[in-house]
Amino acid sequence: MLIDQIIPPESLLPHEEILLLEKINDPLIRKYLRILGVSDSKELLTLGTLDMSDRDIANRHHFLSGKLAVLATLLSITPSSKEH
């Protein structure tokens, strides 16, 4: 496929997947991801109080919602979520 020539697909080797799971499940990393999520959640909850145009508020809402979705996905990854 042409897109695969432009952007070659990459994949992790089995031992790399194990290392990644170990790192993403490190308590310090998980704490940091939760801190980011709390901060973005607070900002999302206070968007209505900001002196911004409706369009800017909507854009910020979409941006923060996307960040929170990524953080939630990362926090949902556990050693049992991927078979070794």
**What pLDDT, in 10s, does the model give residues 33-62?**
999 999 999 999 998 888 889 999 999 999
Domain membership flag for residue 5: no
Domain total of the chain: 1
Domain membership flag for residue 35: yes
Tokens of 9: 């697909």
Confidence of residue 84 (pLDDT cuts 50, 70, 90): very low
Domain membership flag for residue 33: yes
Domain membership flag for residue 51: yes
Domain membership flag for residue 8: no
Domain that holds residue 71: 14-79
Domain membership flag for residue 6: no
Domain membership flag for residue 1: no
Domain membership flag for residue 73: yes
Q: How far apart are CA 14 and CA 7, in angstroms?
A: 22
pTM assigned to the model: 0.76
pLDDT of residue 82: 53
Q: How far apart are CA 16 and CA 31, in angstroms?
A: 22
| Of 80 and 70, more confident | 70
